[in-house]
Amino acid sequence: MRLLISLISRINRIMSETGVALACLFLVMMTAAVILQVVSREMRAPIGWTEEVALASMVWVSFLVGPWAYRHHQFTRIDVAVEMMSTRSRAILNIMIHLFEAALLVGAIYYSWRFFTGGNSLLPQTTRLVRGLAEPIIGADAAGAIVVKNKYVYFILPAGFTGLLMVALEHLLRTLRALLTGQEEHRNFDLDGTARTPEGDAGGSRSDQTGREG
């Protein structure tokens, strides 16, 4: 189990950190689009594609950061009652919670994938923008065949839910080990997500200290 946890931890670390880096780019894109939209409206010359780009970027930012936030226990939670439990009782409760979360995420992956594959509507303003940018390079006929579908925006939904499921699996395995060994990992994170204890399997242990996983 130790090797499996270490492997999944490394995969999730790379995945979540890559997601945060990409989310920063989309956040810059969203901010620039919103500013451009405000300025263009003030000048009585609104630019239509800015709203589509801003909304799409917001969706991507949310689902790219989600696995990182879940892995670093940054989601809002109330754990007063959980902290009063013994280590094994808390581990049993957390196992049930993680199994429930995993079941929800499997369903979310299924339905979001269906939503992604079934979405064929166009983003008209963004399509017009891309065609205008591509026309000088590939010609009017080829550029006219370019379409930007709404489904491309929502591809991040099944991808993001899959990332969350991977993190849920890591939490579940760590909690199972806590149940078997009677020792709970205690991993504090600063606001920038930097672990104060060694990354991976050597996350420190505790017997009856605070904090629930997830």
47-83: pLDDT as tens digits? 888 888 898 899 999 999 999 999 988 776 666 676 7
Give the CA distances from residue 28 to residues 24, 32, 125, 138, in Å, rounded to whole numbers and listed in that order. Answer: 6, 6, 20, 28
Q: Provide the 3-class DSSP secondary structure of residue 96.
A: helix
Q: Is the pLDDT of residue 203 over 50?
A: no
How many C-alpha atoms does 187 have within 13 Å on its Cβ side?
A: 19
The pLDDT of residue 204: 44
Question: At a CB cut-off of 8 Å and minimum separation 6, what does 104 contact?
Answer: none
**H-type alpha helices, 43-123:** 49-71, 80-83, 87-118
Instruction: Measure the CA–CA gap between 153 and 168, rounded to whole angstroms.
Output: 25
Could you tell me the pTM of the whole model? 0.77
Give the CA distances from residue 36 to residues 22, 30, 68, in Å, rounded to whole numbers and listed in that order. Answer: 21, 10, 30
pLDDT digits (tens, 9 = 90+) for 16-35: 999 999 999 999 999 999 99
DSSP-derived letter for residue 207 is S
